[in-house]
């Protein structure tokens, strides 16, 4: 029996779940999916560094590779902080966060749940008033899988990313259904208006015909 090929989940377990997009994919899951399909190299994850590079090489049965020069380098662990007095409540950072680590509402101040933040930096370019800052997290030796990240944190981040994708998919489906229902409703109203107009024209013609006969 031939050994089974590694799956998306197998590859995903070796990724630190930062979802920084440096690999060129929307998130760690999509990168893992591409590797499982043989469409992506295994050396595109800067945050994973040597741990991820070695694990992915062993998993795929290939020689260890150096990190690709096209994807940049790993930075120290950091987390986002909102300069709250300057926040306009635009919600753009909330929409950009891949793990729902930013909370708030439209026109109200936003805040970052630090324990959820992966330091991916995806909230920075969308902020129109540059009120998001990055603070370094002191490195601590916690038996981490990815030096400054623990396996437990990666698992938690993976689950939040999955739930966010599911929520967005459900919202898109709901919006699509509402749009379809609205279009059907609008078509029904238009049809009724046309029928009513036709009925008025017919009644007018009948009235004119009767007046002509009386003359």
Asked, for residue 93, whether it belongs to a domain, the answer is: yes
Instruction: Enter the tokens of residue 214.
Output: 């009386």
For residue 115, what is the enclosing H or E element? none
How many domains does one find in the chain?
Answer: 2
Asked, for residue 139, whether it belongs to a domain, the answer is: yes
- pLDDT the model gives residue 132: 96
Instruction: Note whether 29 and 83 are same-domain residues.
Output: no
- pLDDT the model gives residue 128: 95
Asked, for residue 71, whether it belongs to a domain, the answer is: no
Asked, for residue 28, whether it belongs to a domain, the answer is: yes
Cα 154 to the center of its chain, rounded Å: 17
Which CATH number do you get for residue 23? 1.10.15.40
What is the maximum span of the chain, computed from C-alpha positions, in angstroms? 106
Instruction: Enter the tokens of residue 126.
Output: 């969308």
pLDDT in tens, 19-41: 999 999 999 999 999 999 999 99
Asked, for residue 97, whether it belongs to a domain, the answer is: yes
Give the span between the Cα atoms of 80 and 177, in whole angstroms. Answer: 36
Which range marks the domain in which residue 19 is found? Answer: 8-60
- pLDDT the model gives residue 178: 78
Which CATH number do you get for residue 98? 3.30.70.20
- pLDDT the model gives residue 151: 81
Instruction: Note whether 41 and 84 are same-domain residues.
Output: no
Give the sign of the dihedral formed by CA 54, CA 59, CA 63, CA 66. negative
Instruction: Note whether 149 and 98 are same-domain residues.
Output: yes
Asked, for residue 146, whether it belongs to a domain, the answer is: yes
- pLDDT the model gives residue 27: 96
- pLDDT the model gives residue 195: 67
For residue 133, what is the enclosing H or E element? strand 132-136
Pick out the chain residues at pLDDT < 70.
Answer: 1-3, 138-147, 181-191, 194-195, 197, 201, 206-208, 210-215
Instruction: Note whether 42 and 114 are same-domain residues.
Output: no
Instruction: Note whether 56 and 85 are same-domain residues.
Output: no
Kind of pairing between the strands at 78-82 and 132-136? antiparallel
Instruction: Note whether 154 and 128 are same-domain residues.
Output: yes
- pLDDT the model gives residue 15: 94
Asked, for residue 65, whether it belongs to a domain, the answer is: no
Asked, for residue 197, whether it belongs to a domain, the answer is: no
Give the span between the Cα atoms of 94 and 91, in whole angstroms. Answer: 5
Give the span between the Cα atoms of 62 and 14, in whole angstroms. Answer: 15
User: Is the distance from CB of 107 to CB of 89 less than 8 angstroms?
Assistant: yes
């Amino acid at each position: 029996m031939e050994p089974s090929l590694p799956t998306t989940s197998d590859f995903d377990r070796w990724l630190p779940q930062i979802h920084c997009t440096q690999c060129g994919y929307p998130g760690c899951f999509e990168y893992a999916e591409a590797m499982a399909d043989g469409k992506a190299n295994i050396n595109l994850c800067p945050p994973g560094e040597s741990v991820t590079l070695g694990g992915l090489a062993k998993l795929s049965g290939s020689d260890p590779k150096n990190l690709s020069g096209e994807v940049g380098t790993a930075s120290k662990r950091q987390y986002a902080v909102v300069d709250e007095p300057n926040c306009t409540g635009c919600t753009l950072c909330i929409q950009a966060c891949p793990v729902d680590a930013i909370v708030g509402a439209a026109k109200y101040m936003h805040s970052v749940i630090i324990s959820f933040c992966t330091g991916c930096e995806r909230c920075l370019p969308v902020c129109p008033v540059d009120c998001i800052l990055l603070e370094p997290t002191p490195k601590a030796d916690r038996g981490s899988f990815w030096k400054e990240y623990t396996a437990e944190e990666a698992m938690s981040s993976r689950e939040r990313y999955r739930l966010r994708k599911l929520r967005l998919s459900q919202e898109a489906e709901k919006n699509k259904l509402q749009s379809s229902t609205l279009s059907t409703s609008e078509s029904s109203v238009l049809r009724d208006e046309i029928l009513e107009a036709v009925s008025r024209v017919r009644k007018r013609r009948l009235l004119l015909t009767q007046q002509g006969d009386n003359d």
